[in-house]
């Protein structure tokens, strides 16, 4: 019988987590139009229930909101960033 492996968790600081990936990655995640004001407070009001995509820099800076994942990937490429999907 094998012995249980002790569980360890490492806590990263907010700064360390923000620096993870440096300036090489951009994160693409699906969002709803109702979430847009939390990402872009100055954005115009959108129709409720729209399926959108948010593109963010590795440090969490919002770069783009779009209705097309392909457009988010293209914008990441324009900024020489490797897109990573976030679920």
Count CA atoms within 13 Å of residue 2 on its CB side: 3
Closest CA to 28 of 87, 85, 78, 76: 85
Q: Phi and psi of 4, rounded to 5°?
A: -65, 145
pLDDT, tens digit (0-9, with 9 covering 90-100), for 22-74: 668 889 999 999 999 988 888 899 999 999 999 988 888 889 999 999 999 99
Q: Which of 83, 23, 49, 21 is nearest to 64 (CA)?
A: 83
- Tell me the CB-side half-sphere exposure of residue 83, using CA atoms within 13 A: 19
pTM over 0.75? The answer is no
Domain limits, the chain: 23-85
Residues belonging to the chain = 87
């Amino acid at each position: 019988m094998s012995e249980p492996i002790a569980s360890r968790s490492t806590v990263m600081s907010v700064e360390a987590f923000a620096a993870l990936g440096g300036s090489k990655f951009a994160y693409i995640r699906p969002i709803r139009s109702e979430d847009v004001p939390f990402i872009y407070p100055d954005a115009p009001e959108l129709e409720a229930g729209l399926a959108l995509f948010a593109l963010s820099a590795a440090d969490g800076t919002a770069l783009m909101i779009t209705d097309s994942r392909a457009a988010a990937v293209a914008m990441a490429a324009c900024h020489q960033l490797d897109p990573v999907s976030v679920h």
